[in-house]
Amino acid sequence: MKVMAKGAWLCLYGSVHPKGPVQLDPNQIHYDELHVTGTFSHTKESYRQAVELLSGKQIDVSPFITERFPFPEIKPAFERAISPDTYRVLMTFEE
């Protein structure tokens, strides 16, 4: 939430494991006029929009990537991906 612009929306999509309470600063939500919401399902259109935003590099997702692995190292990448201390693992496909 620290990187959100004033008036921004935070949409929590997907489940959180392990489940439990999430700490949010109510003053930050108040003073920065933030909107916090959740969603359960997506449509083909919302998926297409997400792909366009990501492929167009309109959203910087690097803070969410824990580690990067080249495709030949797929086994250690999956081992890290299922580790509880890993957020997201990125596979790279280079020529």
Q: What mean pLDDT value characterizes the chain? A: 87
| Per-residue tokens: 13 | 């999509």
Residue 14 is predicted with a pLDDT of: 74
The pTM of this model reads 0.46
Mode of pairing for the β-strands spanning 89-92 and 67-70: parallel
Q: Which residues of 60-69 are buried (b: 16+ CB within 10 A; e: fewer)?
A: eeeeeeeeeb
Reported residue count of the chain is 95
Burial status of residue 29 (CB atoms within 10 A of its CB: 0-12, 13-18, 19 or more): middle
pLDDT at 13: 74
